[in-house]
């Protein structure tokens, strides 16, 4: 079926709403969990990430952070630093130049 963008959003909302209470289980190895956490932390720093979806993603990120943090104190600290732009590094592990200096408005 061909949907317009608006029709698609409305229909998907109906589908998901009719299955309230259905949960998806996601299993990740620790490296993928850390990568997902990092991406969520980065996305949540966006200045417009203040709506209910952002709050839900922050809760997910905090759950991942807590799970990884149980591996040990170094992992817990690594996860905690992901919320702080001053700890950003580039792909080579060098300090990253952040375009935004303040932390997410959710923190």
The three state secondary structure string of 19-74 is CCCCCCCCCCCHHHHHHHHHHHHHHHCCCCCCCHHHHHHHHHHHHHHHHHHCCCHH
**pLDDT at residue 56, as a whole number:** 93
So what's the pLDDT on residue 16? 87
* Per-residue tens of pLDDT for the chain, all 107 residues: 899 999 999 999 999 887 777 888 889 999 999 999 999 999 999 999 999 999 999 999 999 999 999 999 999 999 999 999 888 887 787 888 754 444 444 55
pLDDT at 104: 45
């Amino acid at each position: 079926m061909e949907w317009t963008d608006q029709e698609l959003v409305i229909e998907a909302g109906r589908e998901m709403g009719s299955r309230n209470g259905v949960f998806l289980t996601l299993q990740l190895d620790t490296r993928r969990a850390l990568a997902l956490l990092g991406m969520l932390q980065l996305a949540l720093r966006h200045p417009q990430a203040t709506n209910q979806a952002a709050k839900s993603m922050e809760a997910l990120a905090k759950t991942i952070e807590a799970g990884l943090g149980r591996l040990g104190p170094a992992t817990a600290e690594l996860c905690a630093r992901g919320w702080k732009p001053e700890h950003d590094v580039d792909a080579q592990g060098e300090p990253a130049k952040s375009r935004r200096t303040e932390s997410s408005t959710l923190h």
